[in-house]
Amino acid sequence: MNWLKKLTSGLSKTSAAVTSSLSSLLGRSSIDAGSIEEVEDALISADLGTAAAARLAERVRRHKFDGEVTAQALASALADGITEILEPVAAPLIPKVDNRPHVVLLVGVNGSGKTTTAGKLAQQWRQEGKSVMLAAGDTFRAAAIEQLQIWGDRTGTEVISGAQGGDAAALAYQALEKARSQGTDVLIIDTAGRLQNRTELMDELAKIVRVIHKLDDSAPHDSVIVLDGTVGQNALSQVSAFRDIAHVSGLIVTKLDGSAKGGVVIALAETFQLPVHAVGVGEGADDLQPFEARDFANALAGVSAEA
C-alpha cells in the first residue's frame, strides 16, 4: 500500500466523523450563516479546536459552490481551507551536513512513540547514506534501551546506552562527544517519557538540553516533541509544557491510524505555528513520513483520489 492510501486509511475515522456530521448540508444550493454552527460543531468533534473550526467554517460559508452542495464539493472546500492552515507549518526534518553531528532531541510524555520514532528516523537517514548514532536517553525503562538496541541492530546504527537508572544528561554528553569525534552525520537522542506536571522530570530534561548546549552551543539543532495522535486536545497542553523547557522546535504526530482525533494536527498548527515534520500511521519504518499539507487535508476532509 502506498503512503497516500495508508494516510487516507489512517485518517478514515476522523474523516468519517466530519463527513457524517455534515451530511445534512448536502443538496443545498449554498452554505448559509445558519449552517455555520453545524460545520463548526463537526470540526470541533474531530478535535480541530475552536479557533481552527471557526476559521474553516467561515471559509466554507464563503465558498462558491457550483450548483448544489455535493459531498465531494464540500470535501474539496474543507480540504482547501485545511491546506491553507497546514501549508505554512509543513516542514520535513532535514539534518544539516555542516553540523556533524546534527543533534535531534526527541521529547514527550510516556507512550507517545519517541523510541519507535527514533528508530524509524535512524532507518530512513541510514537509507539516505547518512551515518547515524542513537543515544538511549530513556534510562528509566530497560525496555526502551532494549527497543532502541533492536532498531540499532536492524539498521546498522551504533547505540550509546548506559545502566538503567543512570544519569540521562551524562549519557547525552557522552554520546555527543563520541559522535563529534567520529564525524557522525546525525545524533538522535531518545529521552524518557515524562508527565508535564512532574517538576523534577522536567528539570532533568532541562539539564539534558543545558549539557548538550555546553558541548555545542548550536545544539540540539532540532528539539522535536513526539505526540500521540489519539490524545486529541491534550496534545496542546503537552506542547505548551515542553515548549519552554526543551525549546521545542517542531512536532511529529504518531498513531494517527485508528484515531478519530486526527484533526488535532490542525489545532496544533493553528495554535503554535510550529513546524510539523512528520506523521505516523503504523508500526513499520515506512509508516512515518514527511508531513504534506495537501495530502493530509484531502485525507482528513474525505476528498476522493479521483477528485
CATH code, domain carrying 12: 1.20.120.140
Residue 74, classed as helix, strand or coil, is helix
Q: Are residues 114 and 77 in the same domain?
A: no
Q: Are residues 208 and 78 in the same domain?
A: no
Q: Are residues 8 and 60 in the same domain?
A: yes
Which whole-number Å values give the CA distances from 244 to 203, 205, 225, in the listed order?
11, 11, 12
Name all contacts of 49-52 with Cβ < 8 Å and 24+ positions apart. Answer: 49/233, 49/236, 49/263, 49/264, 49/266, 49/267, 49/270, 49/271, 51/267, 51/270, 51/271, 52/85, 52/263, 52/266, 52/267, 52/269, 52/270
Give the C-alpha separation, 276 to 265, whole Å: 8
Q: Are residues 190 and 250 in the same domain?
A: yes
Q: Are residues 75 and 24 in the same domain?
A: yes
Q: Are residues 188 and 57 in the same domain?
A: no
Q: Are residues 176 and 278 in the same domain?
A: yes
Q: What is the tally of structural domains in the chain?
A: 2
- The H-or-E segment that residue 254 falls in is strand 250-254
Give the C-alpha separation, 47 to 134, whole Å: 34
- The domain in which residue 14 lies consists of 3-89
Assigned domain for 239 exists:
yes
Assigned domain for 13 exists:
yes
Q: Which residue has the cell 522536567?
A: 202
Q: Are residues 115 and 69 in the same domain?
A: no
Q: Are residues 81 and 140 in the same domain?
A: no
User: How many other C-beta atoms can be found within 10 angstroms of the C-beta atom of residue 159?
Assistant: 22
Q: Is the pTM value of this prediction over 0.85? A: yes
Grid coordinates representing 138 are 530513556
pLDDT tens for the chain, residues 1 to 307? 688 899 999 999 999 988 888 888 888 877 887 788 888 988 998 899 999 999 999 998 888 888 888 999 999 999 999 999 999 999 999 999 999 999 999 999 989 999 999 999 999 999 999 999 999 999 988 899 999 999 999 999 999 999 888 999 999 999 999 999 999 999 999 999 887 667 888 899 999 999 999 999 999 999 999 999 999 999 999 999 999 899 999 999 999 987 789 999 999 999 999 999 999 998 888 899 999 999 999 999 999 765 4
